[in-house]
């Protein structure tokens, strides 16, 4: 299998995309596919650069056996030349990624996707932003992502 690279993107890179990254890493570990992927996450915004993922998301993930180790960073022009797949958590992230690419990169290397297009169990067509809500929102994001990230992996390998 050819090595592939995946970048998960949300707004702040402290809630949804680090969770998607951790779920994807866990899946490829369990399937013995770790060596075939480069995986990362980023935000379209810059507010949280260098910060650990939101404590609420780290706790909710830890309860499911997922460790989120990433530090927040902002998507940049190199990403459009490095990652085979850039995967947005919601429609706004998707539009922002497309706009950004038109401004800073002429590369057509990356395929830009919406993660919820790979869902099978849940109806949500976007991953809801849990940042301003309660703990249950973080659980819901993880439930949704366990479904759609698994579907995404099945599609690309």
**114 belongs to the binding site for ligand 4NP (CB under 6 A):** no
> In this complex, which beta carbon is closest to ligand 4NP, that of residue 13 or of residue 148?
13
What is the rounded distance in angstroms from the CA atom of residue 157 to the CA atom of residue 154? 6
**131 belongs to the binding site for ligand 4NP (CB under 6 A):** yes
To ligand 4NP, the closest distance from the beta carbon of 46 in angstroms equals 10
Count of other CB atoms within 10 angstroms of residue 28: 18
**11 belongs to the binding site for ligand 4NP (CB under 6 A):** yes
> In this complex, which beta carbon is closest to ligand 4NP, that of residue 14 or of residue 39?
14
Are residues 68 and 138 in contact, defined by beta-carbon separation less than 8 angstroms? no
Among 7, 10, 100, 153, binds ligand 4NP (CB under 6 A): 10
Binding map of ligand 4NP across residues 14-53, x = CB under 6 A, - = no contact: xxx------------------------------x------
Q: What is the 3-state secondary structure (H, E, C) of 56-98?
A: HHHHHHHHCCCCCCCECCECCCCHHHHCCEEEECCHHHHHHHH
- Residue 16 appears among annotated catalytic residues: yes
Per-residue tokens: 40? 């990362």
**75 belongs to the binding site for ligand 4NP (CB under 6 A):** no
Per-residue tokens: 148? 């759609």
- Residue 58 appears among annotated catalytic residues: no
How many alpha carbons lie under 13 Å from residue 15 in its C-beta half-sphere?
22
- Residue 10 appears among annotated catalytic residues: yes
Catalytic positions are: 10, 16, 129
């Amino acid at each position: 299998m050819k090595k592939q690279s995946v970048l998960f993107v949300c707004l702040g890179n402290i809630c949804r995309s680090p969770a998607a990254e951790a779920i994807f890493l866990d899946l490829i570990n369990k399937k013995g596919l770790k060596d075939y992927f480069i995986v990362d996450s980023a935000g379209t915004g810059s507010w949280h650069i260098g910060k650990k993922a939101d404590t609420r998301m780290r706790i909710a993930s830890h309860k499911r056996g997922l460790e989120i180790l990433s530090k927040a960073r902002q998507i940049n022009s190199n990403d459009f030349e490095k990652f085979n797949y850039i995967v947005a958590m919601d429609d706004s992230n998707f539009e922002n990624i497309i706009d950004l690419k038109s401004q800073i990169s002429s590369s057509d290397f990356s395929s830009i996707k919406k993660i919820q297009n790979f869902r099978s169990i849940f109806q949500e067509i976007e991953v809801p932003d849990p940042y301003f809500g309660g703990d249950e929102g973080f659980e819901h994001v993880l439930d949704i992502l366990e479904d759609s990230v698994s579907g995404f992996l099945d599609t690309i390998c």
